[in-house]
């Protein structure tokens, strides 16, 4: 737990169901109070800490006061480090979303009173305006897709929800407000009907809507739905006239609870985590605003809620199986997002090789299945919570994680090819000069990730190792020079070396290479490279300089002529077709702009 989190409160209130279904919800004095253990999030010297977002790793974001107390600024609290952010020239800056990568998002109010989205990446703020919108308010950030969500204001002053590139307007609404999207693509928010009444909504991935109402409280000033988990747990807040703001948790089976922190004036829930814990802030009577984490004292188990499995992963390499079947398809990317892994590795049993995915991949990678082990490398230890249902196939048994941080028993070399435009089907081969271990990867787009692992947890890589990379095309022809890279400590910490291979398909320079085999009898292949298209010929001379034979190749395109299917071929005969004697010979490659000679030996 973050060292700024203090003060535990325990509630002992009975939980009883109060309604079934999303469309009818009754709130009264009898609405049960959720049974949570609350922990306050505090920063020394800060008496206004409006926590609005968290990630899977116990980091937080939200809003606080500027040093002079004149404006609101965003903050992050990551690994115990409290940092504030103020968009230049803004009246106020607000954060409402935080990703596992430390990326935060929200919006700011400019000098004219208009709102613009703002995204924090690598410590820098950038503005984001939804295309065509007059104003943009960001409230959500998807780890799975990177999509932003929230609401926009159009040129006519009407509000609409948005998620990624999708604009959402509830049918018949005068204004629609969006907040959060879960991994399945369900978007939650609120809308105002023609009579000026507030309602909550869920927009399902198929485009249908479900309304969330409080019908016994007709005098609502507002109702805002903030969050929905992958399993359908919903958090929202509402305020009726002549009442305080109240926050609620709605289970997938329709059970409703109010959330109230003891001694608070108001309690605001902003985020519900996959394990049912909640994040938000509360006000005290003395005017202070502090953040909180609420952890269920009794885990809700309503119909459809699913199961929860906690797991500890160590820093470095871990072997794990996904313990529960997720409600949505899980991929290498989503597993990496959840764990914070630098790479995810699986074993392709059909082809007897390891397959890797890294965050710079152009796709989501392979699907995550039950009864399969996956290797993940973590920059730091993590406590994770998996939610879902039991695997239906009895062979799909989840294994406990196994951690082996040292030595490095799994390693990935990944990167991109640069040069020609079509690389599908190309193969990248990686060879460790010290161990002679070879790993290969088929290129997708221009991306590759070659992996190796020793499931007996023995070292496969060390600092100082030299890795040699070559690329072949779909016909097995070499299409690159040999690239050599040296392994350093950062590579070992990440279990990944990321490289860029340039000039694929076109050599940086023309050169003549050593023939093979050498010595030979009676035939040999002579490889070469052309950095530019030109006419090419190969001449052969004996040790005295006497011309033996010329092999004219005509006009050839730039490329690597090294594989037996492309290299020059000599059958050991002179211009008259007669076999030449044993001895030393010289071969010379000639183009209009290049000439090079090498030595070879015939031994009979």
CATH number at residue 595: 2.60.40.4070
pLDDT of residue 5: 40
Examine the domain organization and report whether 89 and 46 are in the same domain.
yes
The answer to whether residue 363 scores a pLDDT higher than 60 is yes
As a whole number, mean pLDDT of residues 321-339 equals 84
Distance CA 445, CA 365 (A): 13
Written as six digits, the tokens of 177 are 């407000």
Distance CA 165, CA 207 (A): 14
Residue 302 lies in a domain: no
Distance CA 420, CA 510 (A): 18
Examine the domain organization and report whether 124 and 180 are in the same domain.
yes
From 504, 524, 559, give the residue that closes a domain: 504
From 441, 475, 504, give the residue that closes a domain: 504
The CATH number assigned to the domain holding 361 equals 2.60.40.1120
Domain range enclosing 559: 511-602
In order, the DSSP letters of 134-167 are SEEEEEEE-TTT--EEEEEE-TTS-EEEEETTEE
* Cα radius of gyration (the chain): 32
Residue 318 lies in a domain: yes
Examine the domain organization and report whether 290 and 317 are in the same domain.
no
Q: What is the dihedral of CA 10, 13, 18, 21, to 10 degrees?
A: 20
pLDDT of residue 298: 65
pLDDT of residue 294: 94
The answer to whether residue 45 scores a pLDDT higher than 80 is yes
Length of the chain: 604
Residue 465: helix, strand or coil by DSSP? coil
pLDDT of residue 398: 47
Buried b (16+ CB within 10 A) or exposed e, 252-285: bbbbbbbbbbeebebbbbbbbbbbbbbbbbbbee
Residue 316 lies in a domain: yes
Residue 246 lies in a domain: yes
Looking at per-residue pLDDT, the higher value among 552 and 419 belongs to 552
pLDDT of residue 397: 44
Examine the domain organization and report whether 262 and 350 are in the same domain.
no
Examine the domain organization and report whether 89 and 213 are in the same domain.
yes
The answer to whether residue 382 scores a pLDDT higher than 90 is no
Examine the domain organization and report whether 321 and 413 are in the same domain.
yes
Residue 301 lies in a domain: no
Residue 520 lies in a domain: yes
The answer to whether residue 151 scores a pLDDT higher than 70 is yes
Examine the domain organization and report whether 286 and 333 are in the same domain.
no
The residues that bridge with 414 in the sheet, in sequence order, are: 449, 498
Written as six digits, the tokens of 61 are 């974001």
Distance CA 424, CA 444 (A): 5
For 469-522, write each residue's pLDDT tens digit.
999 988 888 888 899 999 999 999 999 999 999 888 888 899 999 999 999 999
Residue 576: helix, strand or coil by DSSP? coil
Distances in Å between the Cα of 572 and the Cα atoms of 522, 566, 579, 587 are 5, 18, 6, 12
Examine the domain organization and report whether 544 and 522 are in the same domain.
yes
pTM above 0.75, yes or no: no
Written as six digits, the tokens of 458 are 């023995």
> Residues 258-266: contacts with CB within 8 Å, 24+ apart?
258/27, 258/31, 258/32, 258/33, 258/34, 259/33, 259/34, 259/36, 259/294, 260/33, 261/9, 261/38, 261/292, 261/294, 262/9, 262/11, 262/38, 263/9
Residue 12 lies in a domain: yes
The CATH number assigned to the domain holding 60 equals 2.120.10.30
Residue 335 lies in a domain: yes
As a whole number, mean pLDDT of residues 129-154 equals 94
Angle at 33 between CA 28 and CA 34, to 5 degrees: 140
Query: For residue 112, how far is the Cα from the chain centroid?
Result: 36
Cis peptide before 272 (omega within 30 of 0): no
pLDDT of residue 145: 78
Examine the domain organization and report whether 110 and 256 are in the same domain.
yes
Examine the domain organization and report whether 344 and 205 are in the same domain.
no
The answer to whether residue 394 scores a pLDDT higher than 70 is no
Nearest to 345 by CA among 312, 378, 315: 378
The count of domains in the chain is 3
pLDDT of residue 403: 52
Distance CA 379, CA 381 (A): 7
Examine the domain organization and report whether 407 and 268 are in the same domain.
no
pLDDT of residue 405: 52
The answer to whether residue 90 scores a pLDDT higher than 50 is yes
From 242, 270, 296, give the residue that closes a domain: 296
Task: Judge whether 220 and 214 are in contact, CB under 8 Å.
Answer: yes
Examine the domain organization and report whether 552 and 495 are in the same domain.
no
């Amino acid at each position: 737990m973050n060292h700024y989190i203090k003060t535990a409160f325990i509630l002992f209130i009975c939980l009883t169901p109060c309604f079934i279904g999303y469309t009818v919800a009754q709130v009264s004095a009898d609405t049960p109070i959720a049974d949570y253990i609350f922990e306050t999030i505090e920063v020394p010297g800060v008496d206004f800490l409006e926590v609005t977002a968290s990630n899977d790793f116990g980091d937080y974001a939200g809003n606080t006061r500027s040093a002079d107390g004149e404006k609101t600024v965003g903050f992050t609290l990551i690994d115990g480090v409290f940092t504030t952010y103020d968009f230049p020239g803004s009246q106020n800056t607000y954060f409402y979303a935080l990703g596992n990568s430390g990326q935060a998002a929200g919006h700011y109010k400019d000098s004219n009173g208009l709102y613009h989205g703002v995204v924090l990446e690598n410590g820098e703020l950038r503005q984001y305006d939804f295309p065509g919108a007059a104003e943009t308010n960001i409230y959500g950030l998807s780890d799975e897709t990177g999509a932003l969500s929230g609401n926009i204001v159009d040129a006519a002053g009407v509000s609409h929800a948005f998620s990624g590139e999708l604009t959402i307007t509830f049918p018949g609404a005068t204004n629609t407000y969006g907040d959060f999207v879960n991994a399945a693509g369900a978007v939650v928010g609120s809308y105002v009907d023609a009579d000026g009444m507030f309602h909550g909504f869920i927009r399902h991935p198929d485009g249908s809507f479900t309304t969330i109402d409080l019908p016994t409280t007709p005098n609502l000033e507002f109702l805002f739905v903030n969050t929905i988990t992958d399993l359908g747990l919903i958090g929202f807040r509402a305020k009726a006239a002549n009442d305080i703001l109240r926050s609620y948790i709605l289970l997938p089976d329709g059970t409703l609870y109010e959330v109230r922190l003891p001694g608070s004036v108001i309690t605001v829930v902003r985020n519900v985590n996959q394990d049912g814990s909640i994040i938000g802030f509360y006000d005290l009577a003395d005017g202070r605003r502090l953040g909180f984490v609420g952890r269920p004292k009794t885990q809700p188990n309503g119909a459809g809620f699913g199961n929860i499995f906690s797991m500890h992963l160590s820093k470095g390499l871990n072997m794990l199986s996904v313990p529960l079947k997720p409600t949505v398809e899980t991929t290498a990317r989503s597993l990496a997002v959840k764990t914070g892994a630098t790479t995810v590795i699986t074993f392709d049993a059909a082809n007897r090789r390891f397959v890797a995915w890294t965050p710079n991949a152009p796709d989501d990678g392979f699907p995550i299945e039950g009864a399969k082990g996956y290797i993940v490398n973590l920059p730091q230890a993590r406590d994770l919570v998996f939610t879902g249902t039991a695997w239906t196939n009895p062979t799909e048994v989840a294994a406990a994680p196994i951690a082996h941080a040292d030595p490095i028993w799994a390693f990935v070399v990944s990167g991109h090819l640069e040069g020609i435009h079509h690389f599908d089907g190309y193969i990248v081969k990686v060879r460790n000069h010290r161990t002679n271990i070879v790993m290969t990867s088929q290129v997708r787009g221009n991306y590759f990730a070659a992996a190796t692992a020793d499931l007996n947890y023995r070292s496969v890589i060390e600092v100082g190792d030299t890795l040699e990379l070559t690329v072949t095309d779909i016909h097995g022809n070499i299409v690159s020079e040999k690239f050599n890279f040296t392994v350093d400590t950062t590579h070992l910490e990440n279990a990944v070396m990321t490289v860029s291979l340039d000039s694929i398909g076109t050599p940086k320079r023309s050169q003549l290479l050593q023939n093979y085999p050498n010595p030979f009898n009676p035939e040999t292949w002579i490889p070469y490279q052309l950095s530019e298209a030109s006419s090419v010929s190969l001449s052969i001379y004996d040790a005295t300089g006497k011309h033996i034979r010329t092999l004219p190749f005509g006009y050839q395109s730039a490329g690597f002529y090294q594989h037996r299917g492309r290299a020059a071929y000599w059958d050991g005969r002179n211009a008259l077709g007669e076999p030449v004697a044993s001895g030393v010979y010289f071969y010379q490659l000639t183009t209009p702009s290049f000439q090079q000679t090498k030595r070879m030996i015939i031994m009979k």
